[in-house]
Chain A
Amino acid sequence: MAENRRTKLYDLHIARGAKMVPFAGWDMPVQYPMGVLGEHLHTRADAGLFDVSHMGQVILRGPDAALALETLVPADIAGLGEGRQRYGLFTNDAGGVLDDLMIANKGDHLFLVVNAACADQDIAHLRQLESAGITVQPITDRALLALQGPKAETVLDRLVPGVAAMKFMDVAEFDWQGATLWISRSGYTGEDGYEISVPEAQAVALAEALLEQPEVAPIGLGARDSLRLEAGMPLYGHDMDAATRPAEAALGWSIPKVRRQGGARAGGFPGADVILAELANGASRTRRGLRPEGRAPIREGVEIFDASEGGASLGKVCSGGFGPSAGGPIAMAILPADLAEGATVWAELRGKRVAVTIAPLPFHKPSYKR
């Protein structure tokens, strides 16, 4: 089996006592000595530094690159202002989700960030656009860091003056000690914060400089998962995949009116007929929040029923665990859309049925700087 890839921060993780795990073909830190619970709470209270260099960074250039990308992604990219970023989905002909991604308008080009596990497939998919005169440039010489939490603004502005003026989903370039940083005010935790693309040559120095700040602790994938779960954010491959349509994944919000039926640039992306009809008619099933009674977490794969005994299966948990800030177990599952908030369903856990309440998403209210 091939060796896992290592990010530029690998030695830094080891030096700080990280427990490394294989993730999407990379060796990544799952936790540091602080532990998942402590790291989660630290990010919510102060600031956490995440190495997300495994994620794919791609630049698209060419005339009408935004319109070209709209043929693969049902988002409003042509209407995305310069210096702004937006969330979108790659869809397939069946209306399923191939990956989710961030798209930034950097003026003369688009900058995309895609999931590590899907990066190769996404890049191959994007190369379809080359026939339309678009250049697809995978960025392989930059690391990606995320600084998240209520102290992120203060901390990053101390090192990189000016970032405090950015608003949620703004993107901009800043100089740091001669290196050009591509910074967006965004993240995957439900907290205010930044994602920072940095040349590999300066990545360790920037990470060390951030970690020297008293508010900052390094955070692993374990807490990244519990933070995003509390924020109600889906994880590709778990909460949606090639067989899940956007409305089922509760991601219809990423498809604006202009791309829907009757919109100025309606359709024109893979699976448009199926996806837009479902958005217009309402999905029969969609991703819902779940709060189990008691303290036992219900994890991915646990089956949900409509009765405390017998009854019919309603679906399976797609993400679940313990929410440190939520103060108990939380989960998400794709379930009938007509289940009312507050309704009770049952999870089958170790042969026993546990009552579960349908809860609003997110579990933890985000604190973005809009």
Chain B
Amino acid sequence: MLKYTEEHEWLKQDGDEVIVGITSHASEQLGDVVFIELPEVGREVEAGEEIVVIESVKAASDIVAPVAGVITAVNEALPDTPGAVNDDAMSAWFFRIKPQGGVDLSGFMDEAAYNDLIG
């Protein structure tokens, strides 16, 4: 089941890792994405740390690590095809993170709560 952050990320558990992307709502708000910079694989990050730079035709913004952990993989195709985020935000994942102390996404929003957030 997908979970969501207040920073408009979607989180999907896969074993002891979490796959992270941004929501369709976020991609619509950003506009056409033209540049994405992903973190290094193996980097240890804190929760809330800005680890992805995403630039649209309009502005630059950051994507934060939803939890503390280690980046285990990034979507290497994405920087060459940043528009994929606009085409299908739910399949354009950014990175996989292995959370410190195991996966626990119970504190994040479910789809109904996220839909309430974005109104």
Contacts from A to B (Cβ < 8 Å)? 30-31, 35-38, 40, 222, 226, 295-297, 299, 321-322, 324, 329, 350
Contact = CB atoms under 8 A, between A and B. Distances in A.
A329 B37 CA distance: 15
B25 interface: no
B79 to A, nearest CB: 7
Interface stretch (B7-15, B28-36, B65-73, B107-115): B28-36
Contacts of A31: 31
A36 B57 contact: yes
Given A226-B57, A295-B82, A322 B31 contact: no
A324 B31 CA distance: 13
A296 B37 contact: yes
Nearest to A31: B31
A37 to B, nearest CB: 4
B57 A295 contact: no
Contacts of B55: 296-297, 322
Q: How large is the interface on B (under 10, 10 to 19, 20 to 34, 35 or more residues)?
A: 10 to 19
B58 A36 contact: yes
A5 to B, nearest CB: 23
B31 A222 contact: yes
A314 to B, nearest CB: 22
Main secondary structure of the interface of A (DSSP, over half): mixed
B57 A350 contact: no
Nearest to B79: A295
Contacts of A329: 34-35
A36 B32 contact: yes
Nearest to A40: B57
A31 B34 CA distance: 16
Contacts of B31: 31, 35-37, 222
A295 B35 contact: yes
Contacts of A322: 34-35, 55, 57
13 contacts: A31-B31, A35-B86, A36-B32, A37-B57, A38-B32, A222-B57, A295-B82, A296-B53, A296-B55, A297-B35, A297-B60, A299-B59, A329-B35
Interface in B18-66: 31-32, 34-35, 37, 53, 55, 57-60
Contacts of B83: 37
A36 B57 CA distance: 7
With most chain A CB atoms within 10 A of its CB, the pick from B31, B32, B57, B83 is: B57
Contact of A299 (B32, B53, B60, B82): B60
A35 B59 CA distance: 14
Please list the 10 inter-chain residue pairs (A to B) with the smallest Cβ-Cβ separation, ordered nearest first. Answer: A37-B32, A322-B34, A36-B57, A295-B35, A296-B35, A322-B57, A35-B32, A297-B55, A36-B31, A37-B57
B85 to A, nearest CB: 12
A322 B30 CA distance: 14
Contacts of A297: 34-35, 55, 60
Interface in B74-102: 79, 82-83, 86
Contacts of A36: 31-32, 57-58
A35 B57 CA distance: 9
A333 B31 CA distance: 25
A351 B59 CA distance: 18
A235 to B, nearest CB: 15
B32 to A, nearest CB: 4
A40 B31 CA distance: 13
Contacts of B86: 35
Contacts of B79: 295
A295 B60 CA distance: 13
A321 B83 CA distance: 16
Contact of A350 (B32, B53, B82): B53
Nearest to B37: A296
A222 B53 CA distance: 21
A320 to B, nearest CB: 11
